[in-house]
Amino acid sequence: MFGLRHKTRPLLGIDISSTAVKLIELSRSSGSGELYRVDAFAIEALPQNAVVEKKIVDVQVVGQSIQRAAARSGSKAKRAAVAVAGAAVITKIIPMSATLSESEMEAQIRLEADQYIPYPLEEVNLDFDVVGPSRSGSDMVDVLIAATRRENVDDRVAALEIAGLTAEVVDVEAYAMEGACALLLGGAEHEQRDQTISVADIGATTTLHVMHNGRSVYTREQNFGGNQLLEEIQQRYGLSRAEALERLEGDTLPDNFDSEVLIPYKEALAQQIARALQFFYSSSSFNRTDQVVLAGGSATIPRIDDLVEQRLGFPVSIANPFTSMSVASGVDRMQLDQAAPSMMVAAGLALRAFD
């Protein structure tokens, strides 16, 4: 997306979230029955406020964190795919003549850009993709236009350059998640089932992604997620944010943590997911979800899937895009599986190497 489309392997998928840099490198597997292999992965925590609401505030710090993640992963790749958060991107599907060449489409889109984008063209990065035949007529195709303020792309490109990497692809998080879900749920075979799948990506905040027939049809962010859990731990036990995170990850919180903090948080999280789904139904033509997939750091909370399934009344699972993948000798399988729910966007970006 956004004019950076070269396809050269190997490619690092790098998800820059509010709390961490998540990095993954995939290759085609030569093993029987396994399409991909994980060649490298790493997660590097970010200092607080280096990224705020998925906007890079301190490019230097983020770049140095990416550099450390790449070094720890052992990858030799120098090209990377990153993503811009959906809230920072304007997307629109428009019908265009199927007879137009790519350059002609680009010229027409730029000529008419002010109809779709509320910013001066010189302030945005703009890209487009033909998504398929249009219902407008047999001689028309639907074209997806995506635009974001130039700084959103420039900051990510600059952070990669600090890390000694080149931005090969700048994507949109929703489409990276779409790619990871196709992998997670069986790709084309799954898409034929006319299924609606909702992915609750529960990081510092929560983003609901809804896929229908394998395509992203809805994305909405809400200000509830791991931040609330950390803040409650800080207040209840008088800890700094770093201490709260360390003790949560190390499972060294007091005995009353489960009953007084974690269980109420899980209940609140289930309610937030239910409300997000209701908002989706009320603002779209959909009225059901066939399955919910939990992703992000909070998806690793023990039995969170069971509780959410009880509250929603339909199947809920934990995301692991690496289940059917082999791993290189230098990759710790246990650490990879533990991190898997939070690696969905990074995995989707790494898959861009095979477009």
For residue 95, list its beta bridge partners: 142
Cα 10–Cα 85–Cα 243 angle in degrees, nearest 5: 90
Q: Look at residue 280 and tell me if it is in a domain.
A: yes
- Rounded to whole angstroms, the Cα distance separating 218 from 112 reads 25
**Region at 296 (left for phi over 0; alpha for psi -120 to 50; beta for the rest):** left
Does the residue 97 lie in any domain? no
For residue 169, being part of any structural domain is answered with no
Half-sphere exposure of 140 (CA within 13 A, CB side): 10
Angle formed at CA 109 by CA 134 and CA 117, multiple of 5 degrees: 100
The boundaries of the domain holding residue 256 are 219-317
For residue 7, being part of any structural domain is answered with no
What domain count does the chain have? 1
Q: At 259, which CATH number?
A: 3.30.420.40
Token couple for 117: 């984008």
Q: Is 67 helix (H, G, I), strand (E, B) or coil?
A: helix
Whether 349 is in a domain gets the answer no
Please tell me the pTM assigned to this model.
0.89
CB atoms within 10 A of CB 278: 10
Q: Report the Cα 196 to chain-centroid distance in Å.
A: 18
Domain membership flag for residue 232: yes
| DSSP calls for 279-295 | HHHHTSS----SEEEEE
User: Does residue 49 sit within a domain?
Assistant: no
* Structure tokens, 20: 């961490």
Bridge-based pairing state of the strands 326-327 and 124-133? unpaired
Strands 89-97 and 124-133 turn out to be unpaired
Q: Is position 249 within any domain?
A: yes
Question: In a structure prediction context, what are the per-residue pLDDT tens digits for the chain, which is 355 residues long?
Answer: 555 544 447 899 999 999 999 999 999 866 555 689 999 999 999 998 999 988 999 999 999 999 999 999 999 999 999 999 888 899 888 999 999 999 999 999 988 888 888 888 889 999 998 988 988 888 999 999 999 999 999 999 999 999 999 999 999 999 999 999 988 876 544 444 678 999 999 998 999 999 998 888 899 998 899 999 999 999 999 999 889 989 998 889 999 999 999 999 999 999 999 999 999 999 999 998 999 999 999 999 999 999 999 999 989 999 999 998 999 999 999 999 999 999 999 999 999 998 8
